[in-house]
Chains A and B, each alone.
Chain A
Amino acid sequence: MRAAVVVFPGSNCDRDMAVALRAAGADVQMVWHKDADLPADIDLVAVPGGFSFGDYLRCGAIAAQSPICKAVVAHAQRGGYVLGVCNGFQVLTETGLLPGALMRNSNLKFICKDVDLVVKTTDSAFTSAHTVGDMVRYPVAHHDGNYSIDSDGLARITGDDRIAFSYAQNPNGSVADIAGVLSENRRVLGMMPHPERAVDAGHGGTDGQALFRGLLDQLVSA
């Protein structure tokens, strides 16, 4: 599998993402926000966590207008896979690839801790290595992770089985405890918790390995 990790000014989980993808067996290239094109034959684009453009205006808003994001949107529209984590999730909602928006945490605090998540669907390459109801523990580190979507949108993503992960204990006020959402074609996943920071015993946990392994298995066999 060939993966590209996008780097914005202010990204800080880009290398962690590359390490996690490589550990799972992916061929990874880093791409700069000013690049107008992705490398050829990319299967997956990962949009990493961080504070792109200093979170100016709104988290992810400026990054979503960058040249590389136009290429990422085109990649997704061609049926390519995209994973957005934390700030990457915020960027994907700002591009319109994923529904809803991420608002300030309901307790107004920056939350940095490990959280337990429930796997809500296995009908995606990202969660195919799981069973529905599996619990995984990933770190969260965000100030704006409070997922918001209107009631029609919530009914739509719930009815279409597009909630990938939910929080066992809601840390940030997200609607319906939502931690991760899939696109309509199930090939774009955005999530606030960090699977790439839970892939090595040195991280304190390896629950994130299943996501990357499942992705590799699905995309290599595809």
Chain B
Amino acid sequence: MKFKKLTAIAVSALVAASPLMANELEFPSISYRTGPFGANGAEVADGFSDYMTLLNERDGGIGGVRINAEECETGFNAEKTVECYEATKDSGALVYTPLSTAATYQLIPRVTADQIPLLSMGYGRTSVSNGDVFPYVFNFPANYWTGASVIVNHLLDINGGSLEGKTIALAFHNSAFGKEPIRTLEALGEIYGFDLTLLPIDSPGQEQKSQWLQVRREKPDYVLLWGWGVMNQVAIQEAANIRFPMENLIGVWWSGSDNDVIPAGDASNGYKAVTFHNVGTDFPVFDDIQQYVVDAGLAAGTGENVGTILYNRGLYQAAILAEAVKVAQARSGVADITAEMMRDGMENLVINDEIMEAVGLKGFGPNFTVSCADHGGPGLGAIQQWDAASQSWSLITDFIEPDMEVIQPLIDADSAAYAAENGIETGRCN
């Protein structure tokens, strides 16, 4: 009797909840607020969540449909990320953003099989920008290879157009993520005449004395930093310790957050990093975030992270995905879209000044378009620099184009190899 009663209550609850669930845009937010990388993960998750909350509170969602961006905590564990994916994929999930290269590699075959889009913005497998081979995976507006190329182009700019005879060391996280730029840098080294020295650093990277002693001995002209979490803080501190010129230490965007430079204090002044979005809070959207989210007590965190580099990245990711939803809604004529419609929206996404101004983010990122064949965008990146006195970043360049004539053949070769290994038929974009 008791069991029947409980069953009846459960069924009633499900029936009552179903209409609500069906009328929400599901954005399962795979996040990590705990564990060794929790400090970084929390900021990205806050930015993502706060922007979605803003859309719900200010606009009533997107196209009149509210957003559900419930978080699933992974502790930056790839296996847990897969568990989160499996637990949420049948909820009507529109898109996944795993914020981990290792997890992205594990999810690529799954999302392809389940036909749910995945966006790895600035991380993951670079060659997924070939939409012909990876129909459900996107990595716009930039990837590791374009990031490496943008840094090299910046170095060309400040060296009078020549890197002949220069030495560049790559201090990288000894993982799939850290190894991503090596091919590109090797190819660019052959073209521009610089020597590349590889300095792998094992995870988590708390101890890097050997690598920085090597830098001190060999005196490379520049050191590129390709790390995440504690590896970055230690690297910047060690570089300062050996008096390596901080302006010659340039990080990828995952090595260029406030968390990376603040522990080293004044010693990190002048440190640079490449980025694919702007810095600070000097954009109208932040006024709305303050009014509708933080002041209303609806912020995902304490509100202190608003405007940090990683918060902005999470927000930018959410803003771009929201625009993709609008495209999907317009193209399908359906407000409560499906994952397949979302993919169509992402494949036809256009980001320009007009669109970004409308959402209070004009100039926040580069203009770009996505297509069936090109899931990666143009790969534009700017260089940001840290000012320890004012505790702030500033962009010191415009958005710079990468060497796509070098990178595109690498993307084509890597994606073709993946297609051959996995028996993927290509040609859908012809």
User: Do A and B make up one complex?
Assistant: no
* A→B interface (CB under 8 Å): none
